[in-house]
């Protein structure tokens, strides 16, 4: 197949290299143009994927979509409100789109912007993890063995799972809908607890290891936030993996008390630096499109989330800014989510 990859930070190029390694062709488009600057059509990968891979650099969305069989969108959640309308206006109606990750009902927001057309895949997380080391080189830190996927409309999940598996080789177990996929990502919970517990280190730009500082106190907050997310998900019939299960799946450490698992992760992976800027996405992205997203859904159905509400309020106070603005939810009647997820209005 030919895949149009939209987003050229680290994950987009890593996904392009992985798809090409499996015999597909990939075009790479950067919303700002900065991500493809310095790329001459060859991408070097190292780490869990080694090799040199030909790619096409697309100067426009129209060029990226030309001849494509499928598209993958992988950008930070805060970029989605401005980007989704641009993509909806340019994408061919018959071209399926995978969104990784499916933060804050982004697949539903996109489907409603585009109107009737091919399904939208809601990936719970990205196919790979990695970082960009030079303009033409990416280090692939991990290729996920499996990750869940839903779809809009919900009935298309199996079709989107087959596309994702063909492209990237991972297994993609299906979940009932895009909301189930959105609940699975534990980053908003872990990152908010870490930021709150280590705000002075962040503010003073100290060097600190995030897994080593997932102390028992921080882990208690993670567990409380996770329990409220799980109770909210259960109102919709969903049961996302627990925080312990998520840590086990991502890092391979034995299941146990969270603080023992995080200590084992640090022993195994070494020092993984925490953020050192107050503008960290751990707060500015993961709260509006994660914790505050949960609160918006909870308010629509009358589900109490006092720990989550308090955590967001304290983070807003300490960061000195509002953290609840989420344009992806504008115009959605959250009380009618199951119906919209099954078949969005076109």
User: Does the pLDDT value for residue 342 go beyond 90?
Assistant: no
Give the Cα separation of 214 and 282 in Å (integer): 14
What is the pLDDT averaged over residues 4-23? 97
The CATH number of 2-183 is 3.40.50.720
Which region holds residue 295: left if phi is over 0, alpha if psi is between -120 and 50, else beta?
A: alpha
Chain segment 107-117, per-residue pLDDT in tens = 999 999 999 99
Q: From edge to edge, which strands make up the β-sheet containing 149-152?
A: 56-58, 25-29, 2-6, 70-73, 97-99, 120-123, 149-152
Q: From edge to edge, which strands make up the β-sheet containing 128-134?
A: 51-54, 42-47, 137-143, 128-134
User: Which two structure tokens, joined as six digits, stand for 324?
Assistant: 């609840």
Q: Which residues are CB-contacts of 165 (< 8 A; sequence separation ≥ 6)?
A: 171, 172
Q: pTM surpassing 0.85?
A: yes
Q: Which residues are CB-contacts of 134 (< 8 A; sequence separation ≥ 6)?
A: 38
Give the Cα separation of 63 and 72 in Å (integer): 15
Give the Cα separation of 342 and 135 in Å (integer): 41
Give the Cα separation of 318 and 334 in Å (integer): 29
User: Which two structure tokens, joined as six digits, stand for 336?
Assistant: 């009618």
Residues 240 and 233: beta-carbon distance below 8 Å: yes
Give the Cα separation of 281 and 287 in Å (integer): 9
Domain ranges in the chain with CATH number 1.10.1040.10: 186-342
Give the CATH architecture of domain 186-342: Orthogonal Bundle (1.10)
What are the backbone dihedrals phi and psi of residue 112, each rounded to the nearest 5 degrees, phi first?
Answer: -75, -30
Give the Cα separation of 169 and 115 in Å (integer): 30
- Residue 345's pLDDT band, with cuts at 50, 70 and 90, is low
The secondary structure element, H or E, covering residue 58 is: strand 56-58
- Residue 250's pLDDT band, with cuts at 50, 70 and 90, is confident
Chain segment 189-212, per-residue pLDDT in tens = 999 999 999 999 999 999 999 999
pLDDT of residue 346: 55
Least confident of 154-163, 207-216, 226-235, 246-255: 246-255
Chain position carrying tokens 């680290």: 10
User: Which two structure tokens, joined as six digits, stand for 55?
Assistant: 């790619």
User: Does the pLDDT value for residue 8 go beyond 80?
Assistant: yes
Residues 291 and 312: beta-carbon distance below 8 Å: yes
- Residue 251's pLDDT band, with cuts at 50, 70 and 90, is confident
């Amino acid at each position: 197949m030919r895949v149009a990859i939209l987003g050229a930070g680290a994950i987009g190029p890593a996904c392009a290299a992985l798809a090409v390694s499996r015999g597909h062709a990939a075009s790479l488009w950067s919303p700002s143009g900065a991500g493809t600057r310095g790329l001459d059509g060859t991408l070097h990968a190292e780490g869990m994927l080694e090799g040199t891979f030909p790619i096409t650099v697309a100067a426009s969305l129209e060029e990226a979509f030309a001849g494509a069989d499928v598209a993958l969108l992988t950008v930070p959640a805060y970029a989605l409100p401005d980007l989704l309308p641009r993509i909806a206006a340019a994408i061919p109606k018959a071209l399926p789109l995978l969104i990784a990750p499916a933060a804050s009902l982004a697949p539903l927001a996109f489907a409603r912007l585009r109107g009737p057309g091919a399904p939208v895949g809601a990936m719970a997380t990205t196919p790979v993890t990695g970082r960009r080391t030079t303009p033409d080189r990416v280090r692939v830190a991990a290729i996920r063995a499996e990750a869940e996927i839903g779809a809009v409309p919900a009935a298309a999940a199996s079709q989107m799972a087959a596309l994702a598996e063909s492209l990237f080789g991972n297994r993609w177990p299906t979940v009932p809908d895009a909301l189930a996929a959105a609940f699975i990502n534990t980053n908003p919970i872990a990152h908010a607890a870490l930021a709150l517990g280590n705000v002075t280190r962040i503010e003073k730009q100290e060097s600190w290891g995030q897994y080593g500082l997932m102390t028992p106190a921080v882990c208690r907050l993670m567990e409380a936030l996770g329990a409220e997310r799980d109770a909210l998900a259960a109102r919709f019939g969903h049961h996302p993996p627990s925080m312990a299960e998520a840590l086990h799946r991502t890092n391979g450490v034995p299941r146990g008390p969270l603080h023992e698992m995080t200590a084992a992760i640090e022993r195994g992976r070494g020092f993984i630096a925490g953020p050192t800027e107050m503008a960290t996405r751990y707060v500015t992205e993961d709260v509006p499109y994660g914790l505050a997203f949960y609160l918006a859904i909870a308010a629509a159905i009358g589900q109490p989330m006092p720990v989550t509400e308090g955590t967001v309020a304290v983070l807003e106070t300490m960061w000195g800014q509002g953290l609840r603005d989420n344009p992806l939810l504008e115009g959605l009647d959250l009380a009618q989510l199951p119906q919209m997820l099954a078949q969005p209005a076109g």
